[in-house]
Amino acid sequence: MATRTIAGLTVQVNDEGFMTNPGEWTKDIAMEIAKEEGIVELTPAHWQVINFCRQNAVDSGKAPTLRTITNGASITTKEMFALFPKGPAKKVARISGLGKPEGCV
């Protein structure tokens, strides 16, 4: 398993750069990955989605799909694309320290 240093912490990642141990995640890591993804600042709306995704992953054992996020976090698909442009489910999973959602290419 590969490792990577993010926000001064060494974490385990897979070949695609997704963290493999959600327990290693911190808010500082989220902010660093968000910047890498072109999101300069995480707003309260971003954190609402991130927190939903992390809790959903605890409950289900996997990263939520876009449909699960829009239904569960009371956010529209359009809002998701505005917050996390170009592949929102995949992008929010990376920022949330979760694996790649099922169905994402």
Angle at 37 between CA 33 and CA 41, to 5 degrees: 75
Q: Give the containing element (helix H, strand E) for 35.
A: helix 27-36
With beta carbons less than 8 A apart as the criterion, state whether 19 and 25 touch. yes
Active site residue 53: no
- Catalytic residue, chosen from 7, 31, 45, 104, is 104
With beta carbons less than 8 A apart as the criterion, state whether 10 and 4 touch. yes
Q: Active-site residue numbers?
A: 104
